[in-house]
Every structure is written in structure tokens, then in C-alpha cells.
């Protein structure tokens, strides 16, 4: 019997044998799974389940309730569930109605799939008899979501409701995590049956594969091959991705890096896997990674990839990525091994088990990498991040650097997508994992604000800050009211450059300053008045450097939801930058970051945004 189907009961469920509606079973399984918060927007096809949530909570204390958070949109609900999952490591849940409720949820489902985030979406559907008739608010959820989710269930057999919901949670959190969608017709929700309190659907192939994955052992020969590569190396480098965080392997990564004194670079989603203030941390690599991280990738001779997938924002021109290095790859997903970049050694295992087994196998290994460590320290010293410190206009980098002096790497930070996202990754410290929440692979604008809502509800004792841009925040601006409706103390820092900054940067560099669709100076939105109208107790705009520190301190210290808009330089660019079709050797460092000597570059404008 595989791990996925192992029974964890000590005794029979206290409600086993009780008659329930399908909707009541859905909610009871949520409670059995430890769900304390669900996000969602109601509608006719899901009303039985919403009513079941209400009835479940009747007579219970707040600690026993399933808290229901109603957002402005279903997309907001999805990103709240994602923020909850990313910050806590638990499965996030959102519940929406049929038709547009479901289709509005496609983007967060795809976003979670791309970033391997465990969420469960429960959709209402029209009654079984009406399916396929273009009934009111009908949409082919199974067909639409199948391309975007880890798995989709359409529940047409009312006797399988509780097993389906329970299996959805098991699928979402096991193996490579991801989103699971459960589509439940209204009449199935209203049907009556007997609750059993146990049971999973049989998914033989998946079940067996997960069982093997959870029992995999690093053989002596494989361990010897890895350490032969390490002992032959003089300049090893760990390249850690989001799989380290998703696999709760940050502590193991830090132990492994410290044991062998190997420096670490991380992907955008791997930020926080390594304490960014640690001497071994070289921060983020890739398109907008630090210059010293990217130079270390160029110089290394053994690249140890852990929970990372060599995506285009990291590997760039694949043939030239880590050009002088042998490559080892540890990942939970076998399909990622060799998919983009050929490797010399691989182990398919979750990062936590894999790193722990490697550590045990390497007890007697001794190798001195101190000359390499001195080299990377010199890289960090010679090529630090920097920006225009003489500008009369506030720079986003100085705003974030000032905030970092207050938060000192202890805050949970979510972001939208664009320049502000990259500057947050570059200039903020993150001491612990699950504290930097951002849309990586999908790059979904509008992610930051609702994700912060979910993160704050998952971690009520933590400081949560949404670092956002004026373009991104517009896309889910209605969630400002969600913060005040429920008095959720998220801090919203808006860096307003009156435009889509990253698009504008590409237009500056590659499109002869033709700002097609990206200049927002004509927009009339007064964000501070919007925050005031939505009931924020703290709302302020900063335009002058002399106001900044005091405003940031008040903004962070305010006990409830707070909003701070800082007007920043519209013409600033994010550097370093590796342009489309370019390799690391062609990295653009701008005016303020010292580069290595490099040849002239030719940019491939067809290589993708």
C-alpha cells in the first residue's frame, strides 16, 4: 500500500454513519483536513455548500470555525488561497460558483500550477441533467481547467463526494505540489448520503509512483558519483529553486551549504531558502539577478541544482549557461531532469529527503573550497547592487532599502509583477523561507495584494507587506476593501511610477522609446483617496526624500491595514539585466553597477518578453 492511501485513523470518525447532504460532506472533509479559512464568492450553483459552511459554524467558537473570506473577485479569492498556501505550507482553499465564477479562477489555478503551489478549488456546477445544454452560468470547467491544473475532478457520482475532496487534498500536497479542481453539480451537493469519515479514490498509477518516490534511497554508487564530482571540483555552486521551499527543505539546504562551505544562488521563487544575510548567500541569479551571482555562475565548475528547473529567466541562452560546469540535479519531478539542460548526475527525490541523504552519505568527505569562497566574496564586493543616488526623484531601490532597515528580513513580503517585483527581490532581505511571495512563472500582475491577504490570515502574528506597482495593484484594487472589511493588518506599499515600468524599460532598450500602451500619466486614479474611501486608518503619499523614513516607520508600525504610496522615478531601469537571446557574459549592468569587461552584444528581439 502506498503512502497516499495509508490510513491515518486511530479510531472511527465520530460522525461515521451520519446522514448528510453532499454539501455538508464537502465542508466536513475540509474540517477534517484542518482547513481554518476558505476564500470565495458565492452564486446559485455553489449556494448549498456556502449554506453548509454557515451551518457548520453555527454554535462553534471562533477557534473551531471555518472562516469564510469574501473577496472582490474570484481571481482575488484564488490568489488569497495561493498566498495562504505559500506562506504556511498548508493547502489553500477557495470556493466559487459555476460559469464566470469558475472561469475567473483559471488564472490563479494556472499560476499555482506553474509555481507548484498546493491549492484546492471547489466549483459549483449546473445540475447533472442540465450539463451540456448551455444552461445559465454553465462552463466546461473540466475541459478548461484540465490544461491548467495538476488534476480536475467532475463529481457526477454522489456516493464519491467525500473521497473526492479528500483525494484532492492528497494530490495537491503530494509529490510536486499543485492545484486540484473539484467541480460539483448543484444536485450532487443537495443529494443525501452516509458519511464514512475515511477513504480515498484509487489512483493506481499516481499512488504507486508517489509511494516509490517517498521510499527512494540514494544508493552507494549514486552517492559516490556525486562526491566524485564534488571532490574533482574547485568552484562548486548551489543553485536552489522553489522546490526547496515547497519541499520544506530550507534547513537541509543550509546545513548542506554550511557543511561543505558552498555558496548558494537562488531563483526568484527560491528566495528565502537561504538566509540572504548569510555569508554563503549570493542572492538571486538570472535575468535580473545580482551581478555577483551571475558572475559566480559563469565561474563555477560544478553546479548543484536543487528543486530548480533551468527556466528561461535563469538559463537564458541555455548552451552558454554555466559554461564551464558539470551539473548535478536533484528534483522531485523526473520530467525536469534534462528537460532544458543536460546533467552529469541526477537524483529524483524531494529536496528534503534528497539533501538529508546526501549529507549522510558525505560524512567523511573533506575538501577545502576557501579560495573559491574568497573569490565570490570579492565578486560581491566588486559588483554590488547600486542605483542613481544623485537623482532628485525618489528611487524605488532607496525606498526598499529604507524599508529593509525597518523589517530586517523578518517580514512576509508579497509583490505584484514588474520592476517593483525585481527590486524587492534584490534589495529586501529574507531570513526565513516562505517570506517572499510572488508570481514567478506566470508573472501575473494583480497577484500581490490578494496574496498578502491570504498570507496574513495564514500567519496572523507576522508582519505582512504587499510591495506593489501602480499597474499591478489596479488589477485587483477591489481587495483593498477586503483588508478593511475584515480588519486584516496588511501593509500596502505602492511604488507609483505612473506606468508599466518593466514594459517601458523594454521599450526604452529594444523599441526606440515607443511607449505603446505603457504610459499611464493620463490616468486619474488617486490611490490614497481610494484607500481612504475603503476605510484605511493610515493612508499617505510621499513625494519627497525627506518624508520617506518617517512615513515608512509610521506605515509599518500602524496596528491595522495601512497604505503608503511613494511616487518614484518613471525612467529608472532594473539592473542587472540579461536581455532576450543573451547569455550571462552579455549581462547589462547599467550606469551604477560595476561590470566585468564584456564584448558588444546583439539582442535577439524575437526571443520573448
Please report the pLDDT score of residue 135 as a whole number.
Answer: 97
C-alpha–C-alpha distance, residues 373 and 280, integer Å: 8
Number of domains within the chain? 3
How confident is the model over 220-230, as pLDDT tens digits? 999 999 999 99
Distances (CA, A) of 501 to 119, 291, 515: 31, 21, 10
Query: Could you tell me if 205 and 288 lie in one domain?
Result: no
How confident is the model over 52-80, as pLDDT tens digits? 999 999 999 989 999 999 999 999 999 99
Please report the pLDDT score of residue 316 as a whole number.
Answer: 86
Determine, yes or no, domain membership for 431.
yes
Please report the pLDDT score of residue 604 as a whole number.
Answer: 46
Average pLDDT over residues 88-104: 98
Task: Give strand pairing partners of 119.
Answer: 92
Determine, yes or no, domain membership for 595.
no
C-alpha–C-alpha distance, residues 269 and 434, integer Å: 9
Please name the residue that has the C-alpha cell 527525490. Answer: 349
Query: Could you tell me if 306 and 447 lie in one domain?
Result: no
Question: What confidence tier does 608 reach under pLDDT thresholds 50, 70, 90?
Answer: low
Distances (CA, A) of 209 to 3, 176, 204, 543: 10, 12, 9, 56
pLDDT at residue 3 tops 80: no
Residue pair 284/266 in contact by the 8 Å Cβ criterion: yes
Please report the pLDDT score of residue 368 as a whole number.
Answer: 96
Please report the pLDDT score of residue 137 as a whole number.
Answer: 97
Query: Could you tell me if 305 and 412 lie in one domain?
Result: no
Helical axes 501-510 vs 419-427, angle rounded to 10°: 100
Question: What confidence tier does 523 reach under pLDDT thresholds 50, 70, 90?
Answer: confident
Query: Could you tell me if 495 and 449 lie in one domain?
Result: yes
How confident is the model over 416-431, as pLDDT tens digits? 999 999 999 999 999 9
Phi, psi at 290, each rounded to 5°? -65, 150
Q: Is the dihedral of CA 397, 403, 405, 408 positive or negative?
A: negative
Question: What confidence tier does 4 reach under pLDDT thresholds 50, 70, 90?
Answer: low
Determine, yes or no, domain membership for 208.
yes
Please report the pLDDT score of residue 524 as a whole number.
Answer: 87
How confident is the model over 237-274, as pLDDT tens digits? 999 999 999 999 999 999 999 999 999 999 999 999 99
Distances (CA, A) of 242 to 41, 305, 354, 466: 30, 11, 15, 20
Query: Could you tell me if 112 and 261 lie in one domain?
Result: no
pLDDT at residue 603 tops 60: no
Residue among 301, 308, 374 nearest 337 (CA): 308
Question: What confidence tier does 484 reach under pLDDT thresholds 50, 70, 90?
Answer: very high
Measured torsion, CA atoms of residues 314, 315, 316, 318, in degrees rounded to the nearest 10 = 180
Q: Look up the pTM and report it.
A: 0.95
User: Which of 290-294, 298-302, 603-607 is predicted with the least confidence, judged by mean pLDDT?
Assistant: 603-607
Determine, yes or no, domain membership for 574.
no
Residue 233, domain CATH: 3.40.50.1220
pLDDT at residue 88 tops 70: yes
pLDDT at residue 598 tops 70: no
C-alpha–C-alpha distance, residues 25 and 141, integer Å: 21
pLDDT at residue 602 tops 60: no
Determine, yes or no, domain membership for 589.
no
pLDDT at residue 404 tops 50: yes
Query: Could you tell me if 103 and 154 lie in one domain?
Result: yes
pLDDT at residue 485 tops 60: yes
Q: How many CB atoms lie within 10 A of CB 153?
A: 22
C-alpha cell at 532: 481612504
Domain boundary among 212, 232, 263: 212
Average pLDDT over residues 499-522: 90
Question: What confidence tier does 519 reach under pLDDT thresholds 50, 70, 90?
Answer: confident
Query: Could you tell me if 350 and 402 lie in one domain?
Result: no
Query: Could you tell me if 160 and 231 lie in one domain?
Result: no
Determine, yes or no, domain membership for 318.
yes
Range of the domain at 60: 3-212
Please report the pLDDT score of residue 10 as a whole number.
Answer: 54
Residue 7, domain CATH: 3.40.50.970
Query: Could you tell me if 225 and 191 lie in one domain?
Result: no
pLDDT at residue 606 tops 60: no
Residue pair 269/247 in contact by the 8 Å Cβ criterion: no
Cis-peptide into 576, omega within 30 deg: yes
C-alpha cell at 196: 464514512
pLDDT at residue 549 tops 70: yes
Question: What confidence tier does 11 reach under pLDDT thresholds 50, 70, 90?
Answer: confident
Percentage of the chain with pLDDT > 90? Answer: 93
Determine, yes or no, domain membership for 584.
no
Domain boundary among 212, 243, 273: 212
Question: What confidence tier does 599 reach under pLDDT thresholds 50, 70, 90?
Answer: very low
Domain boundary among 359, 382, 405: 382
Task: Give strand pairing partners of 121.
Answer: 94, 181
Amino acid at each position: 500500500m502506498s503512502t497516499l492511501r495509508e490510513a491515518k485513523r486511530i479510531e472511527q470518525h465520530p460522525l461515521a454513519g451520519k446522514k448528510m447532504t453532499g454539501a455538508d460532506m464537502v465542508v466536513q472533509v475540509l474540517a477534517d483536513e484542518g482547513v481554518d479559512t476558505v476564500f470565495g464568492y458565492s452564486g446559485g450553483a455553489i449556494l448549498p455548500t456556502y449554506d453548509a459552511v454557515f451551518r457548520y459554524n453555527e454554535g462553534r467558537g471562533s477557534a473551531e470555525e471555518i472562516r469564510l473570506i469574501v473577496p472582490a473577485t474570484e481571481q482575488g479569492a484564488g490568489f488569497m488561497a495561493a498566498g495562504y498556501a505559500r506562506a504556511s505550507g498548508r493547502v489553500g482553499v477557495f470556493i466559487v460558483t459555476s460559469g464566470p465564477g469558475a472561469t475567473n479562477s483559471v488564472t490563479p489555478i494556472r499560476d499555482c500550477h506553474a509555481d507548484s503551489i498546493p491549492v484546492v478549488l471547489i466549483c459549483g456546477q449546473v445540475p447533472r441533467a442540465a450539463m451540456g445544454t448551455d444552461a445559465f452560468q454553465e462552463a466546461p470547467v473540466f475541459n478548461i481547467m484540465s490544461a491548467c491544473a495538476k488534476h480536475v475532478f467532475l463529481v457526477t457520482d454522489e456516493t464519491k463526494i467525500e473521497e473526492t475532496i479528500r483525494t484532492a487534498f492528497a494530490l495537491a500536497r503530494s509529490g510536486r505540489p499543485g492545484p486540484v479542481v473539484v467541480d460539483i453539480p448543484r444536485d450532487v451537493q443537495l443529494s443525501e448520503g452516509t458519511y464514512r469519515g475515511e477513504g480515498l479514490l484509487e489512483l493506481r498509477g499516481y499512488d504507486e509512483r508517489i509511494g516509490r518516490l517517498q521510499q527512494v534511497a540514494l544508493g552507494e554508487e549514486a552517492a559516490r558519483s556525486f562526491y566524485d564530482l564534488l571532490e574533482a571540483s574547485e568552484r562548486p555552486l548551489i543553485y536552489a529553486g522553489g522546490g526547496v521551499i515547497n519541499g520544506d527543505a530550507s534547513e537541509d539546504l543550509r546545513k548542506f551549504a554550511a557543511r561543505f562551505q558552498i555558496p548558494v544562488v537562488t531563483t526568484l521563487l527560491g528566495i528565502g531558502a537561504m538566509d540572504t544575510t548569510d555569508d554563503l548567500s549570493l542572492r538571486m541569479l538570472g535575468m535580473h539577478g545580482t551581478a555577483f551571482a551571475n558572475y559566480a555562475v559563469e565561474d563555477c565548475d560544478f553546479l548543484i541544482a536543487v528543486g530548480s528547473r533551468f527556466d528561461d529567466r535563469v538559463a537564458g541562452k541555455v548552451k552558454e549557461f554555466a559554461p564551464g560546469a558539470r551539473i548535478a540535479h536533484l528534483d522531485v519531478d523526473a520530467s525536469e531532469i534534462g528537460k532544458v539542460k543536460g546533467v552529469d548526475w541526477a537524483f529524483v527525490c524531494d529536496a528534503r529527503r534528497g539533501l538529508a541523504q546526501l549529507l549522510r552519505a558525505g560524512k567523511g568527505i573533506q575538501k577545502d573550497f576557501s579560495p573559491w569562497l574568497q573569490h565570490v566574496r570579492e565578486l560581491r564586493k566588486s559588483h554590488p547592487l547600486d542605483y542613481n543616488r544623485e537623482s532628485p526623484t525618489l528611487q524605488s531601490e532607496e525606498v526598499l532599502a529604507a524599508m529593509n532597515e525597518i523589517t530586517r528580513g523578518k517580514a512576509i513580503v508579497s509583490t505584484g509583477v514588474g520592476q517593483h517585483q525585481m527590486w524587492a527581490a534584490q534589495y529586501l532581505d529574507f531570513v526565513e523561507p516562505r517570506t517572499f511571495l510572488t508570481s514567478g512563472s506566470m508573472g501575473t500582475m494583480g497577484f500581490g495584494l490578494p496574496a498578502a491577504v491570504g498570507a496574513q490570515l495564514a500567519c496572523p502574528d507576522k508582519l505582512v507587506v504587499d510591495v506593489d506597482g501602480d499597474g499591478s495593484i489596479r488589477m485587483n484594487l477591489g481587495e483593498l476593501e477586503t483588508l478593511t472589511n475584515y480588519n486584516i493588518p496588511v501593509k500596502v506599499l505602492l511604488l507609483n511610477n505612473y506606468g508599466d515600468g518593466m514594459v517601458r524599460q523594454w521599450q526604452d532598450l529594444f523599441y526606440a522609446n515607443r511607449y505603446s500602451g505603457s504610459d499611464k500619466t493620463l490616468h486619474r486614479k488617486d490611490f490614497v483617496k481610494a484607500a481612504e474611501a475603503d476605510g484605511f486608518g493610515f493612508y499617505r503619499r510621499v513625494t519627497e526624500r525627506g518624508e520617506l523614513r518617517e512615513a515608512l516607520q509610521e506605515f509599518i508600525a500602524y496596528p491595522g491595514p495601512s497604505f503608503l504610496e511613494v511616487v518614484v522615478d518613471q525612467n529608472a531601469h532594473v539592473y542587472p539585466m540579461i536581455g532576450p537571446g543573451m547569455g550571462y557574459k552579455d549581462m547589462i549592468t547599467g550606469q551604477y553597477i560595476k561590470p566585468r569587461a564584456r564584448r558588444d552584444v546583439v539582442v535577439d528581439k524575437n526571443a520573448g518578453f
